[in-house]
Amino acid sequence: MYSKIIILRFPLDKVHNPLVCNLSKRYNLTFNILKATIFPRKEGLIVLELSGTLNDYKNGIKYLEDQGISVKNAAHEIDRDNDKCVHCGACTAVCPTEALFINRPEMEVIFDQTKCSICGLCVRACPVKAMQILPSNEIFFDETS
């Protein structure tokens, strides 16, 4: 299973098209909408986690681009404060991509950011608040504009 968080920017003429629904129906992809903002007579923005086979993912992205949708990968936004981490493993229990795992026999929690889907579950699970979401102006534009 391949999973990635992407940012979609829709031009005005594409805002009303069921493009994300078509990703599911035509390309067997599942999606989790993390943020969506669509303004009347303006562009739309959707941040979503897209999951499926790598081949279906690539075909789905090509479909979006062929429709005139701007597709960008979300930058890694989850970070761990190694000074705060006590390696309790609470984050490993909720991590859906196994980006957080326990290295045995040392019993040390390892964070592989390349596997992180930026779901944020580890942030809520961490009792010492060592996991944090870093702000990114790239993903969320000002909703007052």
Domain definitions of the chain by residue range? 2-73, 78-133
- CATH of the domain spanning 2-73: 3.30.70.260
Instruction: Give the pLDDT of residue 134.
Output: 72
Dihedral angle computed from the Cα positions of residues 103, 108, 123 and 72, in that order, rounded to the nearest 10 degrees: -50
- The 10s digit of each residue's pLDDT in 53-108 is 989 999 999 999 999 998 987 765 688 999 999 999 999 999 888 889 999 999 99
pLDDT at 139 over 80: no
Mean pLDDT of 13-23: 85
Q: Taking the domain 78-133, which CATH number applies?
A: 3.30.70.20
pLDDT for 14 beyond 60:
yes
Residue 113 has pLDDT above 50, yes or no: yes
What is the Cα gyration radius of the chain? 17
Q: What are the tens digits of pLDDT across the range 28-40? A: 999 988 778 876 7
**8 Å CB contact between 106 and 115:** no
Q: Is it the case that residue 18 has pLDDT exceeding 80?
A: yes
The reported pLDDT for the residue numbered 75 is 61
Mean pLDDT in residue range 26-51? 83
Report the C-alpha dihedral over residues 47, 53, 59, 60, rounded to 10 degrees. -30
Measured distance CA(60)–CA(143) in Å, rounded:
28
